[in-house]
Amino acid sequence: MGPLPSLVPLVALAPDLVPPRVWLDRLALLVPGGKATRWLLLADLVCLVVLGRAAPWPLVGVPIAVGVGFVALNLVGMAVTDFYLGLALFHLAVGVTTAAVFRRARWVGVTLVALALALGVVT
């Protein structure tokens, strides 16, 4: 006998094995709309540029910060498997990182977090 008889019960129980993304419905309040997400991505870019300019060599730090941000956005998107929820978490992560690392202008990161949460609730 091949593996087919052992897979039949798993296929029959598959809808019961994976919850129907209930956790995503609970986090829907944090996900901003499409236009708000575009503006928040620009705010993320500003935060990443601020972080890059704080490096000892700003000409090298800015492209590295933007590149690391791009990779982080892709990793968050792959980990969460929902594009808009990944973007919302990325906005929050960039804001918290900027507020924690860049002490002279902590307000930039705090503003991004507040804006991401407010736009998530409003839109």
- Residue spans per domain, the chain: 29-122
On the CB side of 13, how many CA atoms lie within 13 Å of its CA?
6
* Residue from 72, 75, 69, 117 nearest 92 by CA: 117
pTM of this prediction? 0.75
Alpha carbons 44 and 33: distance in angstroms, whole number: 16
Distance from C-alpha of 87 to C-alpha of 89, rounded to nearest angstrom: 5
Give the DSSP H or E segment for 38: helix 34-53
Rounded-to-integer distance, Cα 10 and Cα 84, Å: 30
Question: Which of 114, 106, 116, 111 lies closest to 51 in space, CA to CA?
Answer: 106
What confidence score (pLDDT) does residue 22 get?
60
Tens-digit pLDDT string for the chain (123 aa): 555 555 555 555 555 555 555 656 666 677 888 888 889 999 999 999 998 998 889 899 999 999 999 999 999 888 887 788 888 889 999 999 999 987 777 888 888 888 888 888 887
Whole-number pLDDT of residue 16: 53
pLDDT of residue 69: 93
pLDDT at residue number 6: 57
